[in-house]
Amino acid sequence: MDWSVMLLKLAEGMLKSVEIFTLTLLLSLPLGLFVAFGRMSKNILIRNIIKFYISIMRGTPLMLQLMVVYFGPYYIFGLTLPRGYRFWAVIIGFVLNYAAYFAEIYRAGIESMPLGQYEAAKVLGYNQSQTFMRIILPQVIKRILPPVTNEVITLIKDTSLAFAIGEFEMFTTARAIASAESTVTPYIAAGIFYYVFNYIVAGAMEWCEKKMSYFR
């Protein structure tokens, strides 16, 4: 295979990996916050349902979850889904999985806040939503940035699991080229991509931590 063709195919796979990463992060971070609220709900039914959901997401492999999301509608309900569903099955699987992990990180951060903060805000005339958005949430974000960074870095590497249902992201593309051309060069290129991507993301998260250093 010509080098230019190989690089073009790898670049296409790289863009797909970045797309999976970006969509997963944009959707799972806010969803994780709502899941965390459900996990802390005073309603025992809601709390137990969310707890069960988190347990399933954290207790089973992401690869298995992707397969259930992709093949489940057909084998369980007999639904024939459009061809483009493969990509969205990847996004749905990743978002549901990572939202569960982010939810537990959010919950730990929120529950670590001293009760005095809420009492002081009440004395100052803040209602519950104002207290959370203006006082609690900024401090929670500061506290949870390190574990969130770990999950984000893991997500970059986990995008390679999209191969389980045949979505051609970076790793799948590199594997296909390596198999066809009998060379490890595509794997090396993929490794460099994942490392550089991780390095950039880690640097960005470190910058965010420094910006949030005001909330101590």
Signed CA dihedral, 41, 46, 49, 50: sign only:
negative
- For the packed helices 185-211 and 137-158, what is the interaxial angle rounded to 10 degrees? 180
CATH of the domain at 72: 1.10.3720.10
169: containing domain: 3-214
* The total number of structural domains that make up the chain: 1
Residue 4: pLDDT band by 50, 70, 90 thresholds?
Answer: confident
- For the packed helices 3-39 and 44-59, what is the interaxial angle rounded to 10 degrees? 150
Read off the pTM.
0.89
| DSSP string over 156-177 | HHHGGGGGGGT---HHHHHHHH
**Could you read off the pLDDT of 92-118 as tens digits, one per residue?**
999 999 999 999 999 999 888 888 878
**Could you read off the pLDDT of 10-64 as tens digits, one per residue?**
888 889 999 999 999 999 999 999 999 999 999 999 999 999 999 999 999 999 9
Q: Could you tell me which residue, 115 or 85, shows the higher pLDDT? A: 85
